[in-house]
């Protein structure tokens, strides 16, 4: 019987500091608490300390997983680490995580850099590794500290992004007794044309940090940021989501041999309430 991959369990770790809509409104009276909640569906976000990194949160999430799921860490034979805010340019966070979490040395480990789609890509990678016989238990870790990229006076992103980490173990199973839901097919898509619509312009090899990196500019909507900060073109991201996601959903359902009426629950990336409501209407999900 062919080996199949399934999600063994999920745990998470969040920073202690909470940034509420009320706190934002106190700092910036022109920001409406009601408007933030109505448009984003977000009432609070977790913010990492200055000395708290993505890897720190990742280690905690992994430890929580072993505690909550009574899983033997020695059974892990592969680590996949997804982050866009790594502790170092090199070495990879996955390798450091192996040591800090006390995992075996005879395991595979690598990082990859993705944002919104990172968890799904991680599941797809883990499925491929398991179903080709390269591993039996893959530890998928996602962790980011986006708040460190955000200018405090940029409400276009400060109201949305927070920090956190997840630890998921994807395992293999040969027998199907009806109690396990295996990972099904995946549908992917890539359009680099819109790369400039969600970007941290400076800090990489293309534009290393310089004096220009710290020059703050105010846009037409009153948001302030510098080239070392995260920039998001919300209108373009919204347009992309509405134009691309419905077709991708149709392709995925077709690959899985399902219709919308067969699905009990749709879980999309939690971009914001406005985008999710718009996608639901466009795809005619009840």
Work out the burial of residue 5: count CB atoms within 10 Å of its CB; fewer than 13 is exposed, 13-18 middle, 19 or more buried: buried
Domain for residue 178, yes or no? no
Q: What is the pLDDT of residues 52-74, one digit of tens each?
A: 999 999 999 999 999 999 999 99
Mean pLDDT within 197-211? 98
Angular region, 58: left φ>0, alpha ψ -120 to 50, beta rest: alpha
Q: At what angle do helices 273-283 and 234-256 cross, to 10 degrees?
A: 40
Same domain, 73 and 120: yes
Domain for residue 193, yes or no? no
pLDDT at residue 286, as a whole number: 86
Q: What is the pLDDT of residues 137-164, one digit of tens each?
A: 999 999 999 999 999 999 899 999 999 9
Same domain, 154 and 27: yes
What whole-number distance in Å separates Cα of residue 10 and Cα of residue 268?
17
Q: Which segments within 83-212 are labelled E, that is strand?
A: 108-112, 137-145, 163-173, 198-199
**Given pLDDT bands bounded at 50, 70 and 90, which one contains residue 166?**
very high
Domain range for 57: 4-173
161: domain CATH number?
3.40.47.10
Same domain, 138 and 249: no
Please state the pTM of the whole predicted model.
Answer: 0.95
Same domain, 137 and 259: no
């Amino acid at each position: 019987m062919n080996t199949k991959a399934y999600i063994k369990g999920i745990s998470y770790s969040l920073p202690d500091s909470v940034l509420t809509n009320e706190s934002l409104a106190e700092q910036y009276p022109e920001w409406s608490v009601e408007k933030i909640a109505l448009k984003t569906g977000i009432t609070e976000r977790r913010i990492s300390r200055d000395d708290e990194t993505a890897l720190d949160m990742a280690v905690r999430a992994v430890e929580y997983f072993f505690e909550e799921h009574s899983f033997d860490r020695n059974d892990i034979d592969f680590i996949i680490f997804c982050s866009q805010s790594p502790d170092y340019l090199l070495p990879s966070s996955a390798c450091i995580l192996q040591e800090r979490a006390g995992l075996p040395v005879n395991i595979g480990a690598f990082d990859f850099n993705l944002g919104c789609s990172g968890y799904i890509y991680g599941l797809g990678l883990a499925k491929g590794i398991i179903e080709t016989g390269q591993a039996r238990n893959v530890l998928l870790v996602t962790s980011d500290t986006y708040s460190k990229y955000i200018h405090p006076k940029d409400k276009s992103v400060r109201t949305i992004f927070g920090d956190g980490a997840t630890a998921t173990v994807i395992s293999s199973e040969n027998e199907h007794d009806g109690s396990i839901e295996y990972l099904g097919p995946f549908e992917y898509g890539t359009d680099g044309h819109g790369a400039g619509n969600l970007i941290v312009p400076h800090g990489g090899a293309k534009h290393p940090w310089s004096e220009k990196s710290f020059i703050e500019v105010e846009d037409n909507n009153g948001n302030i940021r510098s080239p070392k900060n995260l920039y998001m073109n919300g209108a373009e991201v919204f347009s992309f989501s509405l134009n691309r996601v419905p077709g991708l959903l149709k392709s995925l359902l077709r690959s899985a041999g399902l219709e919308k009426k067969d699905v009990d629950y749709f879980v999309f990336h939690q971009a914001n309430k406005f985008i999710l409501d718009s996608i639901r209407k466009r795809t005619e999900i009840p």
